[in-house]
Chains A and B, each alone.
Chain A
Amino acid sequence: MRTVDLLFVTDPRFEGGVSTAVAVEMRAAARLGLRCGLLMVKGPVIRRTLASHPEIAAAVDEGLVQRVDPEEAVEAAVVLVHHPSILTHAFVPRPKVRAGRLVVVLHHPRRDAAGRLQYDLDAVVANGRMAFGRTVEIAPVSSVVRQGLPARPPAGSVVMPADWLNLIELEAWPRRPPRDPQAGADRVIIGRHARPDPKKWPDTIEDARAAYPTPPGWTVRVLGAGDFLFDLYPERPPDWDLVAFNSEPVADFLAGLDVWVYFHSDAWSEAFGRTTLEAMATGVPVILPPHFRPLFGDAALYCVPADVEATVRALLATPGAWQSRSDAVRAFVEETFGADRFARRVEPILADGRSRLASAQSPEGRWSGSLRSSPSSLPTGSPLTSPPVLPERPVLFLSSNGIGVGHLVQQMAIADRLSPQLRPVFATMSYAASVVRQAGYPTEFLPHHRNGGLPVPLWNDHMAEVVLELLIRLRPRVVLYDATAAFGGILRALEVYRDAFTIWVRRPMWQESHRPFLDAARRFDAVIEPGELAAAFDLGPTTDESDLVMKVPPVLHLSPADRLPRAAARRDLGLPDDATVVALQLGGGNNYPLAALRTVLVEAVLSRPDTILLDIRSPVQVGPEEPGPDHPRHRAVRLFPAFRHSAAFDAAILAAGYNAFHEAILGAIPTLFVPNEAPEMDLQVNRAIWAELSGCGLVCRRDLHTPVARDLVGTLLDPAERARMAEACRSHSDGANGADQIARFVEDAARTVRADRSPAIRI
């Protein structure tokens, strides 16, 4: 059994102040030398696909807090549940946590300003007790939240006497430079920062204009803008400088402000206002509606929207007033919200929690056996020095595709990057299953409906049953599905199984005919879209729902830096150093015949005396044996992954499938792209056009360019042109591989408790 001092329980995907506040506590706890665990929860609030908040991810990466597996037995002196919404439903699975004390921090008022219930406190308490078997100690983050509590707390709960104020690390918020005392009110920069949500804005354009005035010389900067603002205020003042959420470091943004102004919807009840706290920490005077006075006292200025301009002018016109206010807000934050207050807050609770764990079995405790750990092995305040070994869990990679390896390669890119505690298992419809098996992964082959020609409904029924049989034995924590077609049979099996976090890794560039599959996104827990360099030319259906998915950089099986050096690659392939090597890989071509064009391209390459054409064939043979080349400089080779040897290539002639295209561009390989334009394919042609227009490659479309194909090959073989293309390619490489981000997402998902839906089954 693992022992920790503090077990943080939260949905790490919260975008705003909640995650920031939690991360501050994690860092503060680490500074105190506490052992901290993190039990991640998928709550019901966030429906779109989001990764963990970067500050929480950083705390995990730095070892300040360590993931806890949902089924791992843990002793925690204090369990700290952040945000009531994650206790809307019962936790699945039930945590095996023995807690000394259980604190549930209410980061949100129970009702909004219009009186609408935001969460059911009775359910929160009941689910907290169900999960951890302790009295729930309710900790409101502010007086606003406290005032909204019922007169009598729900049975099984108590309300903590002091507010659980959000804390802030002053050192992370350097003071803005002093303002020129002579600057007056002629040139003023007003700013605000909030997550993009219409409730965070005044209800009317009149109030918004008044709160964020732009007389001559004044600027309003908005961090956290978005399209929603255009819907909310179709006639927004043009002088506002709109900056997207998270697109600028907050500290830098605040350092450029003279005054912070924050007004929100009358229907919104702001529990705390962390962004205001950050502005104050930076030394920026703040102007707020009067209802914030209980939280920020005399440190802030208060008025109604109509009085903002006058309040600003008064502040700036009075010599020394701005500086005094700046000093005051910074001092107020340090005194009231400094992170060092965390020790005073948690130490007594921890001591009591440890004492409860060490004492005889609490009447409330659900663990009937004696403690396996002696009191001396209870949490001691010693930080863990090495990451714990989490229990091994299977991860199932399900994929479609027939003769190709595209989806499998993408899945291997992710699987190769998982920690040893996550065990990838593949189940694929690809005839190239051997590629995965040879890589050392357990592999199941499930034939596609086109193999055997079974009517599709019957095939789906069979698939549902077989996949369910696999799931209930393998019991994967995460299932990654990689395909465009979301087969009904597979979806049914996943929904019956329920115990896996399901992720659809869905590439963009769909043709319009794929649109019916879009709705399947709602039947997965997450949808991740691998990056597409040619995204600007994507006119397909997925662009309509791009806000719902998590986008990552292009996914590569091998990163360019993982390739063999040129000399070694040439040696491996038996290629002379001085030859001009052109790789050729046009795909199966059975649905888009390319034989005539291929012949022209091959002849054009071989017409140059210094060339070698490396004809790269599929790693698996799925049809009759292809005839061998009949030219001494035309060599056929089965090579997988071909990209590993690509430094040996001077140029390439490739189809514009996702993997080949991105490998070519990010590997800076000058390439003539021959898109497969069959109606069932993705929009390869747009990738190829993008490559040409961005200077990264050339496009050769079968039906338009065959007469000039020889000339295109001539351009490809021109050393100056190749150098130009390679240079253009390099401008698109920032070293990021989306596979790393997806693997990170899977690591989190595999250790996540489900609380986003009722566990009750409706039959």
Chain B
Amino acid sequence: MALPAPSVLTFMRAFLKRLFSDRPVAAPDPSPADPEDIAPPTATPPVPTATPPVLLVTLLEVDPAEHVEIVEKVFDTFNASHKLVFLVSTDVFGPFLARQAALEYFAPVEDQVRFRHLMDWPDYLAEKWTLLLLKWKPVSVVAYGMNVDRFLEAARAARGASAA
């Protein structure tokens, strides 16, 4: 999948940087000292200096019953050579955390439709997707189930159908 045009992000980053470049004291970045902000047992250790290339695996609208099998397969195939990041549309994170996987989340289409009056979720998630690509700079994106474009199209279609 091609990376999106960087114009919006470039602008956004420049905007934020400019706004805060002269701020004398920013709030401290989080230290490990945060009650109830405990590192979970499956937390991924900090990225070492020589980080492996990132493989971003999307499991959008994939039946949760298949998650364990997919995670196992992906790990068996790519874990030795890649850092794995999973983009999911489920909040049942157990199978991913059990393998110390990095997680990203898109609200499922059902929720986007249910809460469509609050905001334009597909528009937000499209922007979030762009930001995720900048965050992780994946060398590849592997899609199980819908890819991101189809997921967003489906969300827009469901939203439109519901509104109609």
Q: Which residues of A contact B (CB under 8 A)?
A: 394, 400-404, 406-407, 423, 425, 429, 431, 433-434, 437, 442-458, 460-462, 464-466, 468-470, 473-475, 483-488, 491-492, 495-496, 507, 510-511, 513-514, 516-517, 519-520, 523, 588, 590-591, 620-624, 657, 678-682, 763
Contact = CB atoms under 8 A, between A and B. Distances in A.
A455 B47 contact: yes
A431 B93 contact: yes
Given A447-B105, A466-B131, A487 B29 contact: yes
Interface of B: 9, 12-13, 15-16, 18-20, 25-47, 85, 91-94, 97-98, 102-105, 107, 111, 114-115, 118-120, 123-124, 127-128, 131, 134-136
B28 to A, nearest CB: 4
A469 B124 contact: yes
A588 B40 contact: yes
Contacts of A473: 119-120, 123-124
A583 to B, nearest CB: 20
Query: Which of A437, A451, A513, A682 is packed against the most chain B CB atoms within 10 Å?
Result: A451
16 contacts: A423-B118, A442-B111, A452-B47, A453-B46, A454-B135, A460-B29, A461-B16, A473-B124, A484-B35, A485-B31, A514-B35, A516-B31, A517-B27, A591-B38, A622-B40, A763-B19
Closest 4 CB pairs of A and B: A452-B102, A445-B105, A682-B35, A434-B91
Contact of A514 (B33, B91, B105, B111): B33
A464 B36 contact: no
A444 B26 CA distance: 25
Contact of B40 (A461, A488, A513, A623): A623
Contact of A442 (B31, B104, B107): B107
Contacts of A429: 37
B111 to A, nearest CB: 6
A452 B45 contact: no
A401 B36 contact: yes
Given A431-B97, A445-B105, A622-B40, A452 B27 contact: no
Nearest to A683: B35
Contacts of A447: 102-105
A316 B119 CA distance: 71
A523 B134 CA distance: 28
A456 B16 contact: no
Contacts of A623: 40-42, 94, 97-98
B91 A465 contact: no
A749 B118 CA distance: 19
Contact of B47 (A433, A453, A466, A517): A453
Given A400-B34, A423-B118, A488 B28 contact: yes
In this complex, the member of B27, B35, B111 whose beta carbon has the largest number of chain A beta carbons within 10 angstroms is B35
Contact of A487 (B30, B43, B44, B97): B30
Given A403-B40, A465-B9, A466-B128, 13 more contacts: A394-B119, A402-B38, A404-B36, A425-B118, A431-B93, A447-B102, A452-B136, A483-B37, A485-B30, A678-B38, A680-B37, A681-B35, A763-B18
A461 B27 contact: no
Given A447-B105, A452-B85, A496-B19, A402 B128 contact: no
Nearest to B26: A488
Contacts of B120: 473
Contact of A444 (B27, B30, B93, B107): B107
A404 B85 contact: no
A657 B36 contact: yes
A621 B40 contact: no
Contacts of A681: 35-36, 38
For B33, B46, B131, the residue with the greatest tally of chain A CB atoms inside 10 Å of its CB is B33
A708 B14 CA distance: 61
B112 to A, nearest CB: 9
B12 A465 contact: yes
Most chain B CB within 10 A, of A425, A461, A474, A622, is at: A622
Contacts of B38: 401-404, 588, 590-591, 678, 680-681
Given A465-B12, A485-B37, A682-B35, A443 B91 contact: yes
B34 A492 contact: no
Contacts of A468: 12, 16
Which applies to chain B's interface (DSSP): helix, strand, loop or mixed? loop
A588 B118 contact: no
B37 A400 contact: yes
Contacts of B104: 447
A519 B9 CA distance: 30
Contacts of B118: 394, 423, 425, 442, 474
A461 B15 CA distance: 12
A621 B124 CA distance: 29
Nearest to B105: A445
A299 B3 CA distance: 82
Candidate in B26, B36, B93 with the most chain A CB atoms within 10 angstroms:
B36
B107 A443 contact: yes
B141 to A, nearest CB: 16
Q: Which of B25, B28, B30, B107 has the most CB of A within 10 A?
A: B30
A441 B128 CA distance: 20
A471 to B, nearest CB: 10
Given A401-B36, A402-B43, A486 B27 contact: yes
Interface centre among B9, B12, B32, B97, by most chain A C-beta atoms within 10 angstroms, is B97
A433 B103 CA distance: 13
Contacts of A462: 131, 134-135
A680 to B, nearest CB: 5
A106 B38 CA distance: 52
Given A442-B107, A458-B135, A519 B25 contact: yes
B62 to A, nearest CB: 16
A680 B85 CA distance: 27
A621 B93 CA distance: 8
A450 B47 CA distance: 10
A227 B163 CA distance: 60
Nearest to B107: A444
A191 to B, nearest CB: 45
Contacts of A400: 34, 36-37
Given A442-B115, A519-B25, A484 B34 contact: yes
A12 to B, nearest CB: 28
Contacts of B123: 473
A400 B118 CA distance: 22
Contacts of B9: 465
A351 B39 CA distance: 66
Contacts of B115: 425, 442
Contact of B16 (A445, A458, A492): A492
Contacts of B93: 431, 620, 622
Contact of A469 (B27, B45, B127): B127
Greatest chain B CB density within 10 A among A473, A514, A519 is at A473
B24 to A, nearest CB: 11
Contact of B27 (A401, A423, A519): A519
A622 B131 CA distance: 26
A470 B115 CA distance: 14
A455 B32 CA distance: 13
B92 to A, nearest CB: 6
A475 B107 CA distance: 18
Contacts of A513: 31, 33
A624 B27 contact: no
B131 A402 contact: no
Nearest to A482: B36
Contacts of B119: 394, 473-475
B2 to A, nearest CB: 20
B86 to A, nearest CB: 10
A588 B38 CA distance: 9
Contacts of B19: 492, 495-496, 763
Given A469-B127, A763-B18, A763-B19, A452 B36 contact: no
A72 to B, nearest CB: 18
A491 B30 CA distance: 12
A451 B43 contact: yes
